[in-house]
Structure 1
Amino acid sequence: MALASLIMLVPVVLVTSFLSGIFGMAGGLLLLWFLFLVAPASTAIAVHGIIQMVSNGSRAWLSRRYLDLKILAIVSLGLLLAMGCLFAVQYSPNKAIALMVIGLLPLLLWIPASWLTFDASRPSHAFACGLISGALTVMVGSAGPLIDLFFIRTKLDRRVVIATKATIQVVAHFTKVVFYINAALMLDAMGWTTVALCIPAAFLGAWLGKFVLDRMSDLQFRSWTRMIVTCIGFAYFVQGTSAVLSA
């Protein structure tokens, strides 16, 4: 990554972690979009994974008393199985396709509940969530909107949703860092220094976001999440389509 991009990364992480602290995933999508602009796909996904492990880990720790361990365990099994399958076929990412796929994911949040209802509190649904989101996390770098589909229509308290989703995403980001470890190791000293500076920025953003989350209602949380993530997804899709057409 260029020096200018590295300098911009720390404030970008602070802002995106703040958004993630409120909505659970919007910030992570914005951060990945920025990284795709300034780095090759595999490097962008690896760096995103390292930073998001801290950001999501911060949210998970701050909300740890609301964590649903049963859901976490079942989803994690699916995540690990998905990573193993992609490792076996030696998958390699394509940036344009990744942008388009991520751009389409928010559409899932607008599917009427009567058409397709997922509930992460049901074991079979939790395993499917882990398997599908694990595959997408490794393949395109993010699966936040898909994970949200399994939570947004549950009867879980918003704080349980944030805590459990954040911990699931820690596991998901860990799997993609392991998958792209060679790309991560290619960072130079300046790159690793910047990533290190992003860690406290990620924690601070998550901590600030929690104050806003605590003052929101469950209805506000769910409605704002869908609108913001959909807008971000539209930007992804436009950029991905442009990249495919210009190739």
Structure 2
Amino acid sequence: MLEYIELFFKSIFIDNMVFATFLGMCSYLAISKKVSTSVGMGAAVIFVLAVTVPVNWLLDQYLLQPGALSWLGEEYAGYDLSFLSFIMFIATIATMVQLVEIIVEKFAPALYNSLGIFLPLIAVNCAILGGSLFMQSREIPTLGLSFVYGIGSGIGWFLAILAIAAIREKIRYSQVPGPLRGLGITFIITGLMAIGFMSFGGMLTGGDDAAKKEGATTKAEVKVEVKEDVDKKAEKLANNTKEITK
């Protein structure tokens, strides 16, 4: 259970798609002018990531990895279809995005019109594909963890775009220096927000406890090395004393 919680919060704060890897920046900058549209876009990203990451995990485990086809029989155990990863992942993402587009258009036409071209462009949003590729490269071991990672990554992207949208609505009425208006001040605020999100790293990766353990291990290793060195010198001195006595 602890592993699930740690992965969930790490994918939101430390490994945030926007602030840690700068993925999905196009939609992040274009949609974040209003909070209302940012909420709709963020919810769509959460749904797509929560579905596509586990589905792509299943494809990777039972179809794409070297030897993944062994469940079909011994004669298929030597097949390696990993070169199809990008195609299969993108096909899954495109299918889910089309489903989201149909649902939003049916039940929230106002949101559909406000999102415009950026809703179907979720299919080519690098944050969505990045979630599946990070899942694959980090070798997430179970389907449950892949689902948690997908939801956490989506929530992280949602918090990022929601926070910047709220700030941009406020600074619209602020006296921002001319050269920094628009994307200039947005990038500066994004950098400051990234620092804030990354500061959770010490809390979620052990922090001082990990450092203390590492320090204790290092001290123990040093003591062993010193003891071995002293023993060698004592043995050498004893041998020299015997030779002198003879």
The answer, yes or no, to whether TM exceeds 0.5 is: no
- Higher relative contact order (CA closer than 8 Å, sequence separation 6+): 1
Report which of the two structures shows the higher radius of gyration computed on alpha carbons.
2
